[in-house]
């Protein structure tokens, strides 16, 4: 039997230079190192083109390594591409359209940032209603960087404590939220962080919440996401 380190070296040398979010390397390491802390937990990760690469990849890998099942939801039936530093980065394969996803199938929703990503998502009625339903359900919603723009669009930050990338601080305040300059802000079912450097704390907060949560919160109902009236949710 080869050691994990030997197997990793062989596959790293053989792997192509392009990657998808479940790369060969990560699948090998996940199979040998993951635990069952979040076994049975299903997490939705909502994103589209221009997501901040680390803010999607890091939580996805951390959650999968902890035993959770993560599904990437998006707006189109095609791979989406991240943004890394000053150019487009890796490609991510989506698992389901947000318009076809049932919020009741997931214990948590993760919203990565990036400038382009939330700007596109907040213009989509299905994406906004998915977020609104999740927030109203009491189940975990975790957003980082520019991700809270979706919470603002869904009118769900009023009276809540949260953080975000500094450039949208005024947007949070104008939407009725209390903005705090901390790596992680936890307000009941809402976890938020500011930027990629906060990812270790952000990921750990999500895992801690899910590992200590009991399945007592009613699941979000399966609603017609296109026709939901924001005043009735």
| Global confidence as pTM | 0.80
Q: Are 130 and 98 in contact (CB under 8 A)?
A: yes
**DSSP code per residue over 83-138:** EETTEEEEEE---EEGGG--GGG-SEEEE---SHHHHHHTT-HHHHHHHHHHHHHT
How far is the C-alpha of 168 from the C-alpha of 140, rounded, in Å? 22
Q: Are 68 and 95 in contact (CB under 8 A)?
A: no
**Residue ranges per structural domain of the chain:** 1-33, 38-215
| CB proximity list for 30: less than 8 A, separation 6 or greater | 61, 64, 65
What element of type H or E holds 158?
none
CATH topology of domain 38-215: Rossmann fold (3.40.50)
pLDDT digits (tens, 9 = 90+) for 21-57: 455 444 444 444 567 899 999 999 999 999 999 999 9
Structure confidence at residue 34 (pLDDT): 61
Structure confidence at residue 181 (pLDDT): 98
Structure confidence at residue 135 (pLDDT): 96
Helix (H, G, I), strand (E, B) or coil at 142: strand
Which ranges of the chain have pLDDT less than 70?
1-34, 213-233
- Residues designated as active site: 145-146
């Amino acid at each position: 039997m080869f050691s994990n380190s030997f197997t990793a070296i062989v596959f790293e040398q053989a792997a192509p230079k392009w990657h998808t979010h479940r790369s060969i390397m990560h699948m090998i390491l996940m199979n040998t190192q993951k635990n069952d802390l979040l076994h049975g937990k299903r997490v939705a990760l909502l994103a589209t083109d221009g997501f901040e690469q680390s803010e999607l990849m890091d939580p996805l890998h951390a959650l999968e390594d902890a035993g959770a099942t993560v599904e990437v939801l998006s707006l189109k039936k095609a791979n989406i591409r991240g943004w890394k530093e000053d150019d487009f980065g890796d490609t991510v394969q989506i698992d389901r359209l947000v318009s076809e996803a049932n919020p009741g199938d997931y214990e948590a929703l993760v919203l990565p940032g990036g400038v382009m990503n939330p700007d596109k998502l907040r213009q989509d009625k299905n994406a906004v209603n998915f977020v609104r339903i999740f927030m109203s359900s009491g189940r975990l919603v975790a957003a980082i960087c520019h991700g809270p723009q979706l919470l603002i669009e869904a009118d769900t930050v009023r009276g809540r404590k949260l953080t975000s990338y500094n450039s949208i601080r005024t947007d949070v305040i104008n939407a009725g939220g209390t903005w705090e300059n901390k790596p992680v802000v936890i307000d009941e079912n809402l976890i938020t962080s500011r930027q990629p450097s906060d990812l270790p704390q952000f990921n750990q907060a999500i895992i801690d919440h899910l590992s200590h949560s009991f399945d007592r919160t009613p699941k979000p109902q399966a609603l017609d996401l296109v026709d939901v009236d924001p005043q009735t949710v």
